[in-house]
Amino acid sequence: MRRNLLITGIGEGLGAEIAGTFARAGYDVLGLSRSDRASEAVGAAAEQGGGRYTHLLCDLAYPADVSLALRPVANSIDVLIHNAQLLTIKPFADISTEEFEQVWRVACLGAMASAQAVLPHMAARRQGTVIFSGATAGLRGGANFSAFASAKFALRGLAQALAREFGPNGVHIAHVVIDGLIEGPKTDLRFGPAQAGRMDSKSVAQAYLDLATQNPSAWTQEMDLRPFGEKF
């Protein structure tokens, strides 16, 4: 029997690689995002891995919409990966309150709403995994990253709190610190052509699968991933 993976903030690049990697491991994939722009690419990746793909249209910034979108499928989710974020890089004086709030809504409030939909069912089954995609900004705030860093700090705190609350109920909660740029179309668009030292999305996706298959006697709560040349 195939299991079900839900990815929030689904898109090309890492999202598609996660979909394909989990599909090859026996998962059907559900992707949630506010547009269906990447659904064809993600669906193809899942199908090539032998899985089915279902796309759910929803804006993660609005918890009521998230709850409504996930209600029909929440009890069937075995793994949730919250991969949504809004990268805003601006001097603090130039950030509006609306922009600041939106970054937090996508990265943290969207994670809360998604987790709240599936966690009661996982706890009732005493089985399941929730993985939150974090960032270096969740460990230290850099200049011009005030909105992004504060949202990622909040996400890390949420992951720690949920791990302590739901771990005893058999649910694995993990936070992944992505310390580096992941190779992909969006990275090229924002930061320029590929350079040595970027992270391979297939390797990152495999690390997520490894987390989801860990034995409960040796769970990882936080994993940091970075390319070999990254300074830390």
Stronger pLDDT, 3 or 41, i.e. the higher one: 3
Count the Cβ atoms, other than its own, within 10 Å of residue 159: 24
- Asked whether residue 174 is domain-assigned, the answer is yes
Is 230 part of a structural domain of the chain? Answer: no
Residue 225 host element (H or E):
strand 222-225
70 lies in some domain = yes
Average pLDDT, the chain: 92
Local confidence band at 188 (pLDDT 50, 70, 90 cut-offs): low
From the CB of residue 55, how many other CB atoms can be counted at a distance below 10 Å? Answer: 18
Does residue 157 form part of some domain? yes
Position 187 pLDDT exceeds 80? no
The stretch 14-26 carries a mean pLDDT of 94
User: Quick check: is 215 in a domain?
Assistant: yes
Q: Is residue 42 domain-resident?
A: yes
- Mean pLDDT of all residues in 194-200: 75
Q: What is the pLDDT of residue 1?
A: 84
Q: For 57-114, write each residue's pLDDT tens digit.
A: 999 999 999 999 999 999 999 999 999 999 999 999 999 999 999 999 999 999 999 9
How many structural domains is the chain composed of? Answer: 1
Q: Which domain holds residue 178?
A: 3-225
Q: What pLDDT is stored for residue 189 in this prediction?
A: 62
* pLDDT reported for residue 131: 98
- How high is the pLDDT of residue 180? 85
Q: Does residue 14 lie in a domain region?
A: yes
pLDDT tier at 46, thresholds 50, 70, 90: confident
pLDDT band at 193 (very low <50, low <70, confident <90, very high): low
Find the CATH number of the domain harbouring 79: 3.40.50.720
Q: Is the confidence at residue 43, as pLDDT, over 90?
A: no
47 CB-contact burial (10 Å; exposed 0-12 / middle 13-18 / buried 19+): middle
pLDDT, mean of residues 10-31: 93
Residue 231 in any domain: the answer is: no
Residue 186 has pLDDT above 90, yes or no: no
Burial 203-214 (b: 16+ CB within 10 A, else e): ebbebbbebbee
